[in-house]
Chains A and B, each alone.
Chain A
Amino acid sequence: MRSLIDILDLTTEEIDGLIETAADIAANPAKYAEVCKGKKLATLFFEPSTRTRLSFEAAMYELGGNVLGFSEPGGSSTAKGESVSDTVRTVSCYADIIAMRHPKEGAPLVASMKASVPIINAGDGGHNHPTQTLTDLFTIMNEKGRFDNLTVGLCGDLKFGRTVHSLIGALSRYANVHFVLISPNELMLPEYMKSEVLEKKGLSYEETTDLEAVMPKLDILYMTRVQRERFFNEADYIRLKDSYILTTKKLENAKQDLTIMHPLPRVNEISVEVDDDPRACYFKQVLNGKYIRMALIMKLLGLKAEV
């Protein structure tokens, strides 16, 4: 029995396999409509995340399975003071697989050590969110057809952005990926990510505060939100926020086949005028997220579509 807690729990071959399945699901949904018939997914959301929960639930329904679960309102972190271990032991009796989101880091790992069914980490605080990373990888493969020989721009809050950290970790396993780290000085990639991931693996990267200057070289532009509360004072925020908002003007010198990504939800970091640009892939990412979660549920339950 396997769980998915960290994206690096999966080998690159396994990721390739999931992407292959997800692509086949997208092309032939009918083939998969009853793969999970009679199976139940429990969504245990100890903190709310409507998007992620809907994606998991839609994924299970489209596989012909059923869904049960709960979502705690913000603030209260444990279901009536019960431990994570006890909760998952109980739910293991009702469900065949569990998708779990928790505000505390490491909670899904604790769950996986105690549960008798597979656990999918649907986000644990600022720590891991592997199905988001799988979604990002699936999108990159769809758009680019490869994971190697890419120049990947990561823009916005690189200090606290866990999706960025996970994506760097996942892409660090492929050859000739060059990272362009674009952020205000206050929100640069943490030192340990540079020394323990990028430099340790001998990956090439550059840091800049200027999005427009590096735009022409990018194959992928991954935007993240620059949150107001990350700044020490309002003046800095006002001064800097516009530099990291993507507009059609800033895209003038971009490659014709640039792939623009964003984990969503966005606030204002991508101007709505960019939505109609064929290079904008962030809404496709949402759909991709459902397909890759379907592939993952099948894999962890050991199910295959009948041919």
Chain B
Amino acid sequence: MTATTSLPALRSVAEEAHAAPQPVEIQPIEIRTRSLSLSYGRKPALLDVSLDVPRHQITALIGPSGCGKSSFLSSLNRLSDLLPNCRVAGEIRIGKTDVLDPATDVVALRRRVGMIFQKPNPFPLSIRRNLELPLKEHGVRQRSELDAIVERTLTEVGLWPEVQDRLDRSALTLSGGQQQRLCLARALALEPEVILLDEPCSALDPISSGVVEDLIASLRGRYTVVIVTHNLAQARRIADRVAFFWLRDGAGRLIEEGPVDAVFDRPRDELTAAYVRGSRG
């Protein structure tokens, strides 16, 4: 929204920044949550989470099972609206949008904020229709334009050579890794600004997982990425920043957040230290 530098330049800056020892971050903030709480019925799942996610970087959410990482993601695109008895309180801003404002257009919001789930979830349609259905819903109707986007996004996720001659076959005939890449292509086709990924590699074999991971790493500099992962090595490899969640008194809380090296090597909190140490050893 603000400070839109030309993309290639911005990307190379980000890449250098990642390779070199971390300089002071000066990226604008894309997602800002304040005192965000989320509960299912009476049961709190998240309490008082205030987190800033910088634009065009990769932020990894880590923490044990049940500490509310998925719930956090689903509040960002208001998918929480669909979860039974789920209530969200606090404040979320993405760019200039007040996400939790009931007047916010969720369809437009979800177009800007893509989401990838743990289990690849292509629709039981052809590969082509998987990509076209959301595009048509958002008003892209011209055949030539649709074809161009299909080819471009499939190329972007490295799937084009594999599927170009079977676009009209069911997407369910693809392997798990290919399905996950298709889902990513489907999200990218809508040209989102933010991409949320909920353990996108954990249902995949190591090779597919590596391919998807590289793909996610390649999103840096062009998209704001928030990824939940249980794989700390993965978080370390691809993330710029890490947020550590922990379950305390039955509710998930944000314990520590910062640049990836700081959180892993010089954690400020005892819990963080124990978690990154324990999971490593």
A interacts with B: no
Residues in chain B within 8 A of chain A (CB atoms): none
Residues in chain A within 8 A of chain B (CB atoms): none
